[in-house]
Structure 1
Amino acid sequence: MVFMRKWKCTVCGYVQTGNEPPEKCPVCGSDRSQFIEVTEGKPTPSPETSEKPATLQASPETTPKAASEPFDIISRWIYKFHIHPMSVHIPNGLLPVSVFFVFLAILFTFTPLATASYFNMIFVLCAMPVVLYSGYSDWKSRFKGALTRVFKIKMACGGTVTLTALILVLWRTADPMILGQPSAGRWLFLLIHLIMLAAATVAGYYGGKLVFKDKR
């Protein structure tokens, strides 16, 4: 009977069966040096990992723990109570509705829908600092700060959502009638909404890959 070896990505937890670890994790994009072999007992490091020289560790006396302790406590609470997965539901839930309201407001020149979209956008903008910080905290603690393509895309999308939400809120505040009359500006206003929605969708897609270990 042939027993296949199992390899686990130490960044995202993805497990693959095969004689050797993959060149790159299909879920988070980490290289093969981040894989360890899963055995009956304790996991053993892959050849690439075991060949690396040991790095010097700072002694407890020289490690500045006092300054980092509050942040460590916050990070543990963020991870324990799943703050990032919960907080991202705010923009993911409100943005599609806001874009739909803006589209209807333009189509029917109905300003109450534009007002509803505006208040939704304010709520999204207020939630984004929590989304970004909790995502950063999870990335540093849960995913070891691995700066792979997946995480770069998620960071770029998070920044895009925050920036576009800020632009839309400021624009609507300065010009409350932007959607109340025919103009080229209102179509640009809608386009920015669509860009923001696309960025949130892409970030959610890659977040789902990490959560469900989807290797597609």
Structure 2
Amino acid sequence: MMKKWKCTVCGYVHTGDEPPEKCPVCGADRSKFVELIEEAPQQDEPGPATPSETIAQQPLPTINTGFDRPENDFPETAQTVFQKYYAAATRLLVKYHAHPITVHIPSGVLPVAILFLVLSMLFQATGFETASFYNMIIVVLVMPKVLFTGYNDWKHRLNGKLTNLILTKMICGATVLLLGLFIVVWRWVDPMVALAYSQSRMTYLFLHLVILGAVVIAGYLGGTLVRFPGD
């Protein structure tokens, strides 16, 4: 009979004679695996029934209340219907890899936004600055979906195990959303913030670089959760 080994970091269960060299889910080494030992259920032999048990086993008289209806005749509540469709939707998001797809949008758009911002500062080109602002709006709009699909993958693929790696990814994601929203609002209130005579232009650029750092860290940690050929 094949043995089962459980990763103590993320809960992944491996079947085989020995634990794997590395967990394919969280990347933990084989020392983090413990063997799962299944105990055979003990069956108690039924003893003689006591008088109280004999009375309890006797059927109670049926009382016609006038409200007896088959269960299927009652319509499902709105909450039950919502839960059913929500569960189906979240399963589809996991099945079709919604998080890896959506996370590529801010990862690709944000560097372009920063590039346009730097070009606008170097060459005093307001067109590049406007393009940078619009790209940042796209990042902010897509981040809620990135965070939700990431949370959904964490709950379904990793069984909701909150490790330091997952916590760091959550902090990075929240940083991108909140700082991105702050930058968009700042630029909306002060359209001249990135121009040459603005005293806040370097702070404005620095916040963009902080967001880029958070995206890089989150992307690197996300890559450690994926098992690539040859790893």
The TM-score, its normalising length taken from structure 2, stands at 0.69
Deviation of 1:196 after TM superposition, in Å, equals 0.2
Residue matched to 1:199: 214
Residue matched to 1:90: 105
CA deviations on 1:87-131 (whole Å, 9 max, x unpaired) are 001100001111111111112221111100000011111100110
| 1:137 aligns to 2:152 (yes or no) | yes
Aligned CA distance change for structure 1 residues 208 and 29 (closer, same or farther; 3 Å):
closer
2:92 to 77, 87, 94: 77
Q: Which has the larger radius of gyration?
A: 2
Secondary structure class of the residue paired with 1:211:
coil
Whether the 8 Å CA contact 1:27–1:213 is kept in 2: the answer is no
CA deviations on 1:20-70 (whole Å, 9 max, x unpaired) are 788x969737798974xxxxxxxxxx34x5499xxxxxxxxxxxx936423
Whether the 8 Å CA contact 2:4–2:13 is kept in 1: the answer is no
1:28 to 26, 31, 34: 26
Equivalences for residues 146-165 of structure 1 within 5 A: 146-165=161-180
Residue 134 of structure 1 aligns with an amino acid whose one-letter code is T
Aligned-partner Cα distance in 2 for 1:76–1:6: 26
2:121 to 68, 91, 106: 106
Q: Which runs of 5+ in 2 are unaligned?
A: 40-78
Deviation of 1:212 after TM superposition, in Å, equals 2.5
* Identity between Structure 1 and Structure 2 (%): 45
Aligned-partner Cα distance in 2 for 1:95–1:152: 22
How many equivalent pairs are there? 189
Deviation of 1:71 after TM superposition, in Å, equals 2.6
Secondary structure class of the residue paired with 1:212:
coil
The TM-score, its normalising length taken from structure 1, stands at 0.73
Deviation of 1:132 after TM superposition, in Å, equals 0.4
Q: Which runs of 5+ in 1 are unaligned?
A: 36-45, 53-64
CA deviations on 1:150-183 (whole Å, 9 max, x unpaired) are 1011100000000111011001101111112333
